[in-house]
Amino acid sequence: EINDQKFVYDFTEGNRDLKDLLGGKGANLAEMTNLGLPVPPGFTITTEACKVYLESGSEPVELRDEVSAHLDALEQQMGKKLGQADDPLLVSVRSGAKFSMPGMMDTVLNIGLSDASVVGLAGQADNERFAWDSYRRLIQMFGKTVLGVEGELFEDALDEAKAAKKVASDTDLDAADLKKVVEHFKKIVKAETGRDFPQDPREQMDLAIEAVFNSWNTDRAKLYRRQERIPGDLGTAVNVCSMVFGNLGPDSGTGVAFTRDPASGHAGVYGDYLQNAQGEDVVAGIRNTVPLADLESIDKTSYDQLMHIMNTLETHYKDLCDIEFTIERGQLWMLQTRVGKRTAGAAFRIATQLVDQGLIDEAEALQRVTGAQLAQLMFPKFDEDAKVEQIGRGIAASPGAAVGKAVFDSYTAVKWSRSGEKVILIRRETNPDDLDGMIAAEGILTSRGGKTSHAAVVARGMGKTCVCGAEELEVDTKRRRMTTADGQVVEEGDVVSIDGSTGKVYLGEVPVVPSPVVEYFEGRMHAGADDADELVAAVHRIMAYADRVRRLRVRANADNAEDANRARRFGAQGIGLCRTEHMFLGERRQFVERLILADTDVERDDALEALLPLQKTDFVELFEAMDGLPVTVRLLDPPLHEFLPDITELSVRVALAESRKEPHENDLRLLQAVHRLHEQNPMLGLRGVRLGLVIPGLFTMQVRAIAEAAAQRIDAKGDPRVEIMIPLVGTVQELEIVREEAEQVIAEVQARTGVELKLALGTMIELPRAAVTAGQIAEAAEFFSFGTNDLTQTVWGFSRDDVEASFFTAYLEKGIFGVSPFETIDKDGVGALVRSAVQAGRATRPDIKLGVCGEHGGDPESVHFFHEVGLDYVSCSPFRIPVARLEAGRAAA
Ligand code: ADP
Ligand code: MG
Ligand code: MG
């Protein structure tokens, strides 16, 4: 239970459900402690304390005493005091928000070391080198992350020491060398900050804690939160953890591991281990790690214990976990665990594997995957048969096929991508400074680092293609080029292709082919044995789970038989939006022109008469493709001028003809019509139901075409289920007029064909007034389809066609919304109108059918909202149907 007054929790007091309060790291350290696993003792300062600090600019008054009390207890337990000169207790101060966030302060190790206690530590450990190595690490990390000293200054100083001794690795520096390094580091601190490196251990700890709090609001952290849609007010927890040492010699070391392969989900031993090192060395890629499997021959006892613990963790968390561990002179310590990140493909595989192992049920399996991951799996891949020039191979860190121009720094990546170029960001290794370049790039390629490197972890999180550790590629960022093993040079701007599923790197543009998951949805691939098919089998099973539990039906937006057929293959249960305006394009434009130009009723009727059979044929085909399933046909919606030629083009044509004295009667009339139809705000003008009310015969022609097509299908023993939808209705009166006319036409067609027709008539709810008066509108409507695109546009007063280019970037940057309301439904505003219209509609007409068409119908978060407000179906573009099915299932599970 959460106690508002308590700002510090011992590891024994927390558990994994307290992530909001203790952060992910703290909650899981507590969970492992309580599982009886070997975790070095420590305590966690809550996110609440951080929030108070960030809001008021100072720590809550109670915090200092609470930290002191917990530190006392820790000292008692460990039998030594923080920084005590003859035998110092050392701690790490570790940040840990609810979601792990690159760009925030990480961790300072070895806090408590000073000029005095370093000597004590050397004596205690009987290892002078180790003590000085630990001290130089403290000054380096503390200097960089707490005092804000440029990290390169320390790195250069360390390189200097190595060069002076002519050695390559920091492990080759002895105690005397490291003493000198420490002196040098202290000078750097003094020169850069104007103060001495703090010698008081408690001051070190307090400064580090404050630095963690402050790191919540760095630019990089904010950028990351916006990208990942993490709220800005969560704050971070701080973990204070007693140190264990992997740098005590060859019988010590540190490593990271996954409980199964995060790329395939297969069981096995996955991870990296580094002897005689402290934690940050592994991630930083400073020295080359060995595969975790090698630990078995280095230290069998620890290896066996680690395997046992990993098994315990996986069974306990019922999921893939990643872990950090350290071995101190043969004693294994657990320093972190969390449910591990994984590729989209692995998410599906692991979910089904865990079902098979009996660890989770189908409902839980649905929570282990997302629509976004499914969408990612539907990306195309490189064509395996293409002629390619492979120039290197690295680790397949994050899947996808990315093609772009080589750039070697983040700044260029951003600059080029802003001007519309596709780029691949190539770095030796990435760090949090590269974040905006990574966002801008199509893909990321590094020459160093493994599956757990910064590039790999961040790219996976962003769903971005990444190949890392392509070691034979020599990256020279200063000269903006990279050299292959056989001496070929890739310059900035050269096109490269990287395959995040195989790790292969190619020169030039490699053609792409559709993904196996799409092939499966298209019915061209079935379950089998090779790698792609294993994924397909997993997707197949998860989709079946989703279809079993979901309540929302999923329909497609489709205007022709081809799209309708694909939609059916993808699992559509009908068409939620057939836009009839798409039937007036191409050659048929001329009839619309005739309609617009008609001077007399006769001319107008002739034009409509010519359109009728064309429309009818379209509908017959569509109803046939969707036989037995509902098809919602929307009557003409866009402003008529959209069917006329472009005004400039037309003016030029007229002027030219005039000067050449050629006949141009028709163009001139068209031009006049364009002028006549011109509106300042066409989206708020003569469109939708207004067209039907103003242009006699237009809607009735469309209704007649629909009714005749339906009759023809019934004659042919078909089962058309047609719903006629009136767009842009603002008041029930508009709908009643159109409805009456439509009913008359339908009655005529029935009488003439002798076929009984059951055509539903309904409306879109896409204006605020319609939403507010939905109760009245339902009197005349058998169904509502929420047109959330126009509704968003009219509720916010945003012009959908302009805002993205004009001010949305600023809005997103200022955090006014985390995502465009045209992409994910604005629940509080637009969503509230939908919710109340649903209730009002059902109050008037309990069996009213309710759906949504438009972009939101295929957006994962919006689908959950539509489930929650009780719609009957969502409708989206054919390609997004699988995502909508999956999310509808996840919402219901
Ligand atoms: P990050 O979130 O960047 O992984 P961590 O807090 O996990 O930051 O720490 C960075 C590295 O330092 C990790 O490898 C971790 O295992 C190691 N580490 C953290 N605390 C300790 C400790 N008390 N003793 C030994 N190593 C530690
Ligand atoms: Mg970190
Ligand atoms: Mg960590």
Q: Are 45 and 60 in contact (CB under 8 A)?
A: no
Q: 151-165 and 128-141 helices cross at what angle (nearest 10)?
A: 150
For residue range 88-100, list pLDDT tens digits in order: 999 999 999 998 8
Co-location of 484 and 397 in the same domain: yes
How many CB atoms within 10 Å of residue 35?
16
Q: How confident is the model at residue 499 (pLDDT cuts 50, 70, 90)?
A: very high
Question: What single DSSP character describes residue 583?
Answer: G
Residue 878: both structure tokens together = 């054919």
Whose structure tokens read 């700890």? Answer: 205
**Cα 340 to middle of ligand 3, angstroms:** 12
CA separation, residue 793 to residues 537, 598, 664, 767 (Å): 41, 33, 40, 9
Co-location of 847 and 884 in the same domain: yes
Co-location of 168 and 283 in the same domain: no
For residue range 31-76, list pLDDT tens digits in order: 999 999 999 999 999 999 999 999 998 888 899 999 999 999 999 9
For residue range 426-454, list pLDDT tens digits in order: 999 888 788 889 999 999 999 988 766 77
Whose structure tokens read 């509502």? Answer: 784
Co-location of 824 and 725 in the same domain: yes
Number of the ligand closest to the Cα of 280:
1
Co-location of 353 and 391 in the same domain: no
Nearest ligand 1 atom, CA 242: 23
For residue range 150-197, list pLDDT tens digits in order: 999 999 999 999 999 999 888 899 999 999 999 999 999 999 999 999
Q: How many Å from the N-terminal Cα to the C-terminal Cα in the chain?
A: 27
For residue range 265-285, list pLDDT tens digits in order: 888 889 999 999 988 777 666
Q: Are 342 and 280 in contact (CB under 8 A)?
A: no
Q: Given this model, what pLDDT does residue 1 score?
A: 47
CATH number at residue 564: 3.20.20.60
Nearest ligand 1 atom, CA 94: 6
Co-location of 837 and 767 in the same domain: yes
Q: In this structure, which amino acid lies at residue 690? A: R
Q: In this structure, which amino acid lies at residue 831? A: G
Co-location of 483 and 529 in the same domain: no
Domain that holds residue 360: 344-374+517-541
Q: Are 445 and 456 in contact (CB under 8 A)?
A: no
Residue 617: both structure tokens together = 């044929």
Distance CA 668, CA 652 (A): 11
Q: Is residue 397 part of a domain?
A: yes
Q: In this structure, which amino acid lies at residue 726? A: I
Final residue of a structural domain among 284, 313, 339: 339
Ligand 1: which residues within 6 Å by Cβ? 40, 92, 94, 106-107, 109, 241-244, 278-280, 324, 326, 335-336
Q: Point out the catalytic residue in the list 241, 853, 864, 876.
A: 853
Of 103-112, 535-544, 700-709, 827-836, which range is least confident?
Answer: 103-112
Give the residue among 256, 258, 254 at the shortest CA–CA distance from 321: 258
* Residue to substitute in 109, 137, 242 for testing ligand 1 pocket (most ligand atoms within 8 angstroms of CB): 109
CATH number at residue 296: 3.30.470.20
Vertex 253 angle, CA 186 and 448, to 5°: 75
How many CB atoms within 10 Å of residue 463?
16
Q: CB within 8 A of 776, min separation 6: which ones?
A: 731, 732, 844
| Helix (H) or strand (E) segment spanning residue 733 | helix 732-753
Co-location of 523 and 403 in the same domain: no
Residue whose CA is closest, atom 6 of ligand 1?
Answer: 94
Co-location of 840 and 888 in the same domain: yes
**Cα 95 to middle of ligand 2, angstroms:** 7
Distance CA 634, CA 626 (A): 16
Q: Given this model, what pLDDT does residue 227 score?
A: 63
Tell me whether residue 853 is one of the annotated catalytic residues. yes
* Adjacency order of strands within the sheet including 321-328: 290-291, 267-275, 253-260, 321-328, 331-339
Average pLDDT for 320-336 = 96
In degrees and rounded to multiples of 5, residue 427 shows phi and psi of -140, 160
Over the range 468-507, which residues count as b (16 or more CB within 10 Å of their CB) and which as e? bbbbebbbeeeebbbbbeeeeebebeebbbbbbbbbbbbb
Q: Is residue 182 part of a domain?
A: yes
Its pTM stands at 0.80
Q: In this structure, which amino acid lies at residue 33? A: T
Give the residue among 790, 794, 798 at the shortest CA–CA distance from 764: 790
For residue range 682-728, list pLDDT tens digits in order: 889 999 999 999 999 999 999 999 999 999 999 999 999 999 999 99
Q: Please, what is the average pLDDT of the chain? A: 92
Co-location of 759 and 871 in the same domain: yes
Give the residue among 551, 100, 534, 228 at the shortest CA–CA distance from 351: 534
Nearest ligand 1 atom, CA 246: 25
Average pLDDT for 335-355 = 93
Average pLDDT for 206-220 = 93
Q: Is residue 248 part of a domain?
A: no
Q: Is residue 207 part of a domain?
A: yes
**Which is it for strands 331-339 and 381-382: parallel, antiparallel or unpaired?**
unpaired
Distance CA 102, CA 432 (A): 6
Q: How confident is the model at residue 807 (pLDDT cuts 50, 70, 90)?
A: confident
Residue whose CA is closest, atom 9 of ligand 1?
Answer: 107
3-state secondary structure at position 213: helix
**Cα 266 to middle of ligand 1, angstroms:** 27
Residue whose CA is closest, atom 14 of ligand 1?
Answer: 279
**Cα 324 to middle of ligand 3, angstroms:** 6
Listing DSSP states for 550-591 in one string gives --SEEEEE-SSHHHHHHHHHTT--SEEEEEGGGGG-GGGHHH
Q: Given this model, what pLDDT does residue 637 score?
A: 94
Residue whose CA is closest, atom 19 of ligand 1?
Answer: 92
Q: Is residue 678 part of a domain?
A: no
Give the residue among 796, 791, 795, 786 at the shortest CA–CA distance from 763: 786
Residue whose CA is closest, atom 17 of ligand 1?
Answer: 279
Q: Is residue 450 part of a domain?
A: yes
Give the residue among 369, 431, 368, 375 at the shortest CA–CA distance from 399: 375
Residue 729: both structure tokens together = 């209705």
**Cα 183 to middle of ligand 1, angstroms:** 25
CA separation, residue 550 to residues 461, 473, 521, 567, 788 (Å): 27, 49, 19, 18, 22
CATH number at residue 127: 1.20.80.30
3-state secondary structure at position 725: strand
Distance CA 266, CA 235 (A): 36
Nearest ligand 1 atom, CA 256: 14
**Which is it for strands 331-339 and 321-328: parallel, antiparallel or unpaired?**
antiparallel
For residue range 354-386, list pLDDT tens digits in order: 999 999 999 999 999 999 899 889 877 888 788
Question: What single DSSP character describes residue 55?
Answer: H
**Cα 314 to middle of ligand 3, angstroms:** 18
Q: Is residue 746 part of a domain?
A: yes
* Residue to substitute in 89, 335, 458 for testing ligand 1 pocket (most ligand atoms within 8 angstroms of CB): 335
Residue 557: both structure tokens together = 């937006």
| Count of domains for the chain | 5
In degrees and rounded to multiples of 5, residue 631 shows phi and psi of -130, 115
Q: Given this model, what pLDDT does residue 857 score?
A: 94
ipTM of the complex: 0.96
Residue 809: both structure tokens together = 């970037």
Average pLDDT for 474-489 = 94
Residue whose CA is closest, atom 15 of ligand 1?
Answer: 279
Distance CA 383, CA 227 (A): 31
Q: Given this model, what pLDDT does residue 854 score?
A: 81
Average pLDDT for 742-770 = 97
Tell me whether residue 454 is one of the annotated catalytic residues. yes
Give the residue among 712, 745, 706, 698 at the shortest CA–CA distance from 591: 698
Distance CA 431, CA 741 (A): 66
Co-location of 454 and 309 in the same domain: no
Using the predicted structure, report yes or no on whether residue 461 has a pLDDT greater than 70. no
Average pLDDT for 235-251 = 95
Q: Is residue 812 part of a domain?
A: yes
CATH number at residue 497: 3.50.30.10
Co-location of 526 and 504 in the same domain: no
Q: Point out the catalytic residue in the list 454, 641, 856, 864.
A: 454
Nearest ligand 1 atom, CA 335: 16
Q: Given this model, what pLDDT does residue 286 score?
A: 66
Distance CA 132, CA 137 (A): 8
